[in-house]
Amino acid sequence: MSETSTRVLDDLELYGVIYRQMLLIRGFEDLVQSLFLKGEVYGTTHLYSGQEAVATGVASLLEGRDRVAATYRGHGHALALGVDPQALLDEMLGRATGVNGGRAGSMNVTSPADRLIGSFGIVGGSIAAATGAALALKRTTGGIGVAYFGDGAMNQGYVFECLNFAQVLKLPLLLVCENNRYGEYTPFEAVTAGEIRGRPESMGVPAETVDGMSVWTVRAAAARAIAHVRAGNGPAFVEALTYRYVGHSRSDPGAYRPEGELAEWRARDPIVLLRTQLEDEGFAGSALAAVEQEVSDQLEQMRERGLAAPFPSGLTATEFKD
Ligand SMILES: Cc1ncc(C[n+]2csc(CCOP(=O)(O)OP(=O)(O)O)c2C)c(N)n1
Ligand SMILES: [Mg+2]
């Protein structure tokens, strides 16, 4: 361990697994983007690159009885929950072997067996779905409902209805706001009054704003929030400050971002931060390099298998595209 570092990783082995997951998410997004540019991906895509620490940090604390609602920027949410990466890639490629038989595409992935009750294209829709799930879970298994959503969702009316409803009924609901500073092409300050966390707090819902580039910080905040929720106290809210490295969707180059902003966020890349911390705390560099090679090989194999997978029965590639 270097002299300047202090130990922050409570479970080195677990963070090794998280490191692998974050690498897989980043590599998955790079792969989807390259396949998209070759015309192999059906429908649009919204990539999660840069935000990996949020999904992996939160998912590392979830139980089998919990249920999660993701957004259209949901590949990372799905992978962190354990959705089969090959099936997820095949879904992007419109193949019959996709997690939803090639019919959902990037934006609408659902995998109940992995606790993923849906990926929602309606901004804030995940909050309504997770609130409903929390209502059901309170009456059945005792799990918690989890919603991921963006900063833009905070200005939707039904978000306030859900917050109010969940707080009044003390529903087991964890709300995770991924504040990546933009809603499509608009900086969030331009459309959002006050502090995001002030809104849940006004209803007595505990809320924290944390560094969303640091997976251990996200995990620690999520652990506090989940403890509140599992104890039957009603909902809790985490705002993770993060950044999407690419444009809003497919071909958006993100030209509306001030010069240097991307570089500033990249300097605190969540994967590099974790790698440095793992090494500082005793994880062998050679073991990390082996994981990196393994993920890279896995992605190459996935690409080959995905492109060779069959389309849904009766449809040619051209028919499918139309
Ligand atoms: C109800 C609704 N209004 C508008 C849109 C169009 N739209 C799609 S994504 C988006 C921006 C959402 O930004 P944010 O919630 O910050 O999520 P991010 O894309 O940054 O992850 C908008 C306005 C939509 N899909 N749903
Ligand atoms: Mg946003």
Helix (H) or strand (E) holding 86: helix 85-92
Residue 7: per-residue pLDDT: 83
Q: How far is it, in rounded angstroms, from Cα 86 to Cα 88?
A: 5
Pocket test for ligand 1, best of 106, 123, 186, 199 (most atoms within 8 A of CB): 123
Domains of the chain: 12-308 (3.40.50.970)
Relative to the alpha carbon of 241, which ligand is closest? 2
pLDDT of residue 314: 65
Express each pLDDT in 231-287 by its tens digit: 999 999 999 999 999 999 987 889 999 999 999 999 999 999 999 999 999 999 999
Dihedral over Cα of 178, 37, 105, 101: its sign: negative
Residues with CB in 5 Å of ion ligand 2:
150-151, 180, 183
Predicted TM-score (pTM) of this structure: 0.96
Q: What pLDDT is stored for residue 14 in this prediction?
A: 97
pLDDT value, residue 2: 46
Ligand 1 close to Cβ of residue 153 (< 6 A): yes
- On whether the CB atoms of residues 143 and 82 are closer than 8 A, the answer is no
Return the sign of the alpha-carbon dihedral for residues 305, 308, 312, 313. negative
pLDDT for residue 266: 98
| Residue stretches of the chain with pLDDT short of 50 | 1-3
Ligand 2 centroid to Cα of residue 261, in Å, is 15
Residue 122 Cβ contacting ligand 1 at under 6 Å: yes
